[in-house]
Every structure is written in structure tokens, then in C-alpha cells.
Amino acid sequence: MKLKKLSLRTRIFIAMILLVLLSSILIAVVVIYQYNEETQDYHKERLIRKEKAIITSLDYVIKQTSFEVITDKVPLIFKEKIYEVAEVHNIQINLYDLEGSILISSKSDIKPEVTNKCIDAEVLNTLLNTAEHRVVEIREDQDATYRSSYNYLTDAKFKPLAILNLPYLERDDFLARELNEFLERLAYTSILVMLIAVALAFFLSRYITKSLKTISEKMRDTRLEKRNAKINVTDESEEISALVNSYNSMIDDLEESAVKLATSEREQAWREMAKQVAHEIKNPLTPMRLTVQSFQRKFDPQDENIHQKLDEYSKTLIQQIDTMSSIAGAFSNFAKMPAQKNELLNVVEVVDLTLDIFNEDYITFQSDKKEMIAKFDRTQLIRVVTNLIKNGIQAIPEGRQPQIIVNVSEENKSIKITVSDNGIGITDENKPKIFEPKFTTKSSGMGLGLAMVKNIVETYSGTITFVSEKDYGTTFTVAFPKN
């Protein structure tokens, strides 16, 4: 799962847990590192302290001896005392001559290693050439670590008498036990802190996302065509307040833009309507004017055919007047929004009765059931079916056997009315414009029929769609909720 797809609440939740885990791991790493450093310093300093104490004890023995203080007499000088000093300091003591050969060694009960018979040449060179005249070797043996220090043991005149070797076993039991106890306490503390972090993340994310969810719901419901409510969130956080203020400011701008747009669209619609009405009315007025002028020029009361000419003149005027009346009725029907009436109709019966208006015998009606109830205005339903059938009839070219099929069916919670014809079909170029007012492919007509049908159907929460194949026909489908 990508992090982008996670909700803000989940991100906060994961971030808090990761923060606790990372901090606990970091603390554990730092503590272990610090423990190792302190352990090394502890053993280093402890070995130095033992060296100083043992050298002091051995110097005291040298001062009290009756033997000649030379390298060869070292085994005699420390014959008994070396064991006492080793036992007091609980460490093995080895004394080598200046060439690196063993002179005398104590036997400590800690048994760190088998005593070397001679010192490596590299250690001797380092011991001789360093300013401190001191060398410390560190080696790992199974699970134990040994430090072995080499120093010069001098006489009263600070002349090297022998090489003092102290094999020192690093015992970390106590420090390791303390480290384990600390890490155990850290684990318990981390678990407790994690539980607190989980609870805190839950409430914090819920607090933050609550305001964001409110804003999201408001933004989702924002529509240009309605009055949108502003957001009133009692949140003192600066970021949320800034977001709310931006949204409320956008709502003000949106309402202002919506008013301007509605006014502009309304004015544009009236201008277009006025242009269309003027254009349609001019069409019958021109032949009426020509007819009147022609009759005026040719009028002769003495003409024996005057009555016939007057009758023709009257028929022409009546025909043009009927055309104008039809134009006025079409625009009136288009402009009038259908009133929603909660009238329960048997759609099958209403559609079947509507087909009685048409005398064409090639119109076929089909239905799976005899009764399908829906809330619809009877007049508007008849108007929808009538317009679709008329369009289908007008789409069939001359010379083709016409066929119109009207079907009523149920699908899920909808009632569907389909009107199919075998006409010339609709071109791909005209399909996007088929429901636009004023669009028509006929030589006569105003292109308001399908626009009016769409207006009626959408008023009743329905839809109208179509499929068409050029030269094979078109099927219009009207769907609206059933009762």
C-alpha cells in the first residue's frame, strides 16, 4: 500500500508509533555504545591502578631485600613475596628478564592463560622504543577478553631490573547485568510510551481530521446552481482556521459568480429566444405580405372569378396564421416547465392509449406486464411519447418500409420506455447536439421537441439516452423511477 493512499489519521497514527520505536532504538544504541566505551575505560583504568599498586609493592620488596638488586637475583628477591602480592591484588604476576625470558611467575587462581616462556620481539621493541615504556596487548579467547600489560621494573636508581607482565581478565558480568537491567526497563518504558502514543495519536488524529472531514463534506456538497452554506468550525488552530476562511471566501466569490453567470445566461437565453421567435415569425409573414400585395394589385370587383380568388387568398392567409400559431404554441410548450404532479399512473396503459393518436399501422407496442406504476404527470408522459414517435416517423425516408417499435419494461427500480425506428439514423457529428434547443436536421421545424422531452424527463429524476446507426435506425430510451 502506498503512503499517499493512506488517510491522514492513519499517517498520524503510524508516525507516532514510528517515532516511539525509532527513539527507543536510538536510546538503546546510544546506551550500548556508551556501555562499551565505559567498559573499555573501566578496564583500562583498573589495569593501570593495579599496575601502580603492584609496582609499589614490588619496589618495597626491593628496598627490603638483602640480595643484590640485579636481574639475575630477581627470582631470589621475589621468591616468597611475589605470591603474597599476587594474592593481595588477585592477579597473576610474571617477571621477565630484559631479553624477554621468564624469571618468576605467581600462580593465580583465576587461570587466565598459560604463562608464556618469553616475550614476543615486537612487544620488546615497542616497550623499548616508546616514551612511556609500557605496552598493553588485547586478545580475544573464546568468550573472554584478556589485557596483558608490560612495564619495566626498576631499581632504586631507576635502572631497568626486569619486565613486569600482568595478564588481566576483563570481567564484565556486573556491567553486563546492569546493561541488561537497563535495557529491560527501557523495553517496558517503550511499550508504555507506545501505548500512550497510540492513544494520543488516535485522539489527536480524530481531533484534527474531524475539522477536515467537516470541510471535506461541505466542499463535496458545494454546487454552483445552489446556495452553499459556509463552514462554522470551532477550531482555534491557525491552519484549520485559514482553510475555513479560504473556503468561506470562495463561497462568497462563487455565489457572486453564480449570480452573474445566471443573469448572463438568462439574458443570453432571452436574446436567443427572441431571435428565434423573430426568425420563425418572419417566415410566414413574408408570404402573407406578398399575397396581400398581389391581391391588392389584381383585385377587380367585376372579375367573374373574384370569389374563387378571394377563397384562395383566404386559405393562404389562414394557412400562414396556423403556422404562426403552431410556432407560438411550440415556444410556449418549451418555455413552460412541467409541473410535478404526484399522480400514480399505469405507464403501460398511458403509453398504449397514446398510440391511438396515430393511425399508422406500422407502429408496434410491446410490454412484458400489463401494469407498471410510477409517479408522472399524464399530459407530460403523453407529450414525451408523442414527440419520440413523431421524430421516428419523420426520420424514415421515402421508399423504405417504415417500422416503429414502442416498448415498456421494468429494470431494477426503473421503468424504461424505448422508441425504435428504422430511419436514416443520426450522424456522429450530430449526436452531441441532438438535445440542444434549435437544433434540427429537418427542412422545417424549430428543433425544440427533443429538448422539451429531455426537460420533462429530467424534471421527474429520469434520463433519456439514444443509440443510433446511420442508415439503420435509432432507439431512444427514457428511464425514470417507478413507484
| Percentage with pLDDT > 70 across the chain | 71
Which of 2.40.160, 1.10.10, 1.10.287, 1.10.3470 is the CATH number of 238-335?
A: 1.10.287
| Cα(74)–Cα(96) distance, integer angstroms | 9
Q: Band of the pLDDT at 63, cuts 50, 70, 90? A: confident
Q: pTM above the 0.85 mark?
A: no
Residue range 84-129, pLDDT digits in tens:
888 888 888 899 988 888 888 887 443 444 445 688 888 888 888 8
Instruction: Tell me the C-alpha to C-alpha distance, in Å, between residue 116 and each of 91, 108, 166, 254.
Output: 16, 15, 12, 95
Residue range 227-270, pLDDT digits in tens:
666 666 665 566 667 777 777 777 777 777 766 776 676 666 56
Interval 69-74 mean pLDDT: 87
Instruction: Tell me the C-alpha to C-alpha distance, in Å, between residue 252 and each of 102, 103, 229.
Output: 100, 102, 10
pLDDT, position 256: 72
Residue range 192-226, pLDDT digits in tens:
888 887 788 777 777 766 766 777 776 666 665 55
User: Within the chain, how many helices (H) and strands (E) appear?
Assistant: 10, 12
> Is pLDDT at 176 greater than 90 in this prediction?
no
Structure-model confidence comparison of residues 74 and 297, the more confident one: 74
> Is pLDDT at 405 greater than 90 in this prediction?
yes
Q: Does domain 344-481 have CATH number 1.10.443.10?
A: no
Nearest to 368 by CA among 295, 430, 294, 418: 418
Residue range 443-456, pLDDT digits in tens:
444 445 688 788 88
| Percentage with pLDDT > 90 across the chain | 9
Q: Distance from CA of residue 293 to its chain's centroid?
A: 76
Fold of 3-177: Beta-Lactamase (3.30.450)
Q: Domain coordinates of the chain in residue numbers?
A: 3-177, 238-335, 344-481
Torsion angle in degrees (nearest 10) through CA of 261, 264, 270, 274: -140
| Cα(56)–Cα(164) distance, integer angstroms | 12
Task: Copy the grid coordinates of residue 408.
Answer: 415498456
